[in-house]
Structure 1
Amino acid sequence: MDAVSTAMREVRREGFLRRADRRRADYDGPLGIGHHQTNSQPRTVAEMLRLLDVRAGQRALDVGAGSGWTTALLARLVGQTGEVRGVEIVPELAQWGARNLARTDQPWASLLEAEPGVLGLPAHAPYDRILVSAEPDRLPGELVAQLDLDGGILVIPVAGEMLRVVRHGDEHEVTRHGRYRFVPLV
């Protein structure tokens, strides 16, 4: 079993869903978490994490962290020697997600309310890995700039297509990995 499958088995989705939806945790589709946001389809999350190629000891950023599930999964993948910061723009979701994350006993991970008008957490950059679970119309240069110069990876849905961006100094390489639908990046 690969690291992503193991993490998804150990960090169960139901702990990151509204009480009424927990019985549907095994459903392979997005589930609402309020405020017009969703907990993403498990198969999609697994594919994104595999594209991200997270390694132990890395620093990761989770943009659009919502319920905290992807932040907790990233924390499991980076392990105790790594660090994960999740950001969520909806204050109520950020608070709920932080409480959900706290129950996973992974103190190397945190989930914060995003600062209005600021994409990501540039003050804490660079990051080895950035995961984005909401969809912008264009690739945000401000997130690419937060990647580590030597092989930092960003996985993000842009205008309906999953992109994997690898940064090499001032250059970056973009590959495309299928069509997806996500809530808009706000």
Structure 2
Amino acid sequence: MDAVAAAFEATPRTGFLRPESRERAAYDGPLAIGCGQTNSQPRTVEDMLRLLDVRPGQTVLDVGSGSGWTTALLAHLVGPTGQVRGVEIEPALVDFGRANLQAVGRPWARIDEATPGVLGDPDHAPYDRILVSAEARELPLELVDQLADDGVMVIPVSGWMTRVTNPGAVVTEHGAYRFVPLR
């Protein structure tokens, strides 16, 4: 079994959904988690994680951590020698995501409330990998600046799944996707 499949097996979506949605955890579509946000479609999350190519021991930023599912998946991929920092703009989802993350027992991952007016987490940069689970209108250079010299970011931009690699911020597109807007 490859690393992404193992992360999904070790991190069931059910524990990251609201009680009223848990019976639909196997549904391959987005499910509401409150505050106008969703727990993303599993197939989309898998595609993003494969593009991100996370390795053990890396430092990862999860922008728009929501229910904490992607943060927990990333934590499984980096393992206890790595670090994952999730940021979420909605205070109620920060609490929800933290509780869900704590339940899976990966203390090398955390979720913090996003600083108003600041995209990502520049205070703890650079990051080996950045995953963004909300759609930007254009590539946010403030996130590109938070990438390590050999870093990778996966972010939906204007309807296209975009992979940015350093050095040089090389951009490639990987299919059409829909996400909630990045605020």
Which residue does 1:183 correspond to in 2?
180
Which residue does 2:25 correspond to in 1?
25
5 Å matches for 1:145-184?
145-149=145-149, 151-168=150-167, 171-184=168-181
CA distance in 1 between counterparts of 2:169 and 2:19 reads 42
The amino acid across from 1:174 in the alignment is V
CA distance in 2 between counterparts of 1:141 and 1:97 reads 27
**1:2 shift after superposition:** 1.1
CA distance in 2 between counterparts of 1:79 and 1:49 reads 15
**1:37 shift after superposition:** 0.3
Which residue does 2:15 correspond to in 1?
15
Structure 2: give runs of 5+ residues left out of the alignment. Answer: none
5 Å matches for 1:36-75?
36-75=36-75
**1:161 shift after superposition:** 0.2
CA distance in 2 between counterparts of 1:122 and 1:138 reads 19
The amino acid across from 1:166 in the alignment is T
Which residue does 1:80 correspond to in 2?
80
What percentage of residue pairs aligned between the two structures are identical? 64
**1:95 shift after superposition:** 1.0
CA distance in 2 between counterparts of 1:104 and 1:115 reads 26
Which residue does 1:96 correspond to in 2?
96
RMSD: 0.5
TM-score, normalised with respect to structure 1? 0.98
CA distance in 2 between counterparts of 1:178 and 1:98 reads 31
**1:172 shift after superposition:** 1.2
SS in 2 for 1:103: helix
**Residues 109-158 of structure 1, C-alpha deviations (whole Å, 9 max, x = no match):** 00011000000000000000000000010000000000001x10000000
SS in 1 for 2:169: strand
TM-score, normalised with respect to structure 2? 0.99
**Residues 47-104 of structure 1, C-alpha deviations (whole Å, 9 max, x = no match):** 0000000000000000000000000000000000000000000000011101110111
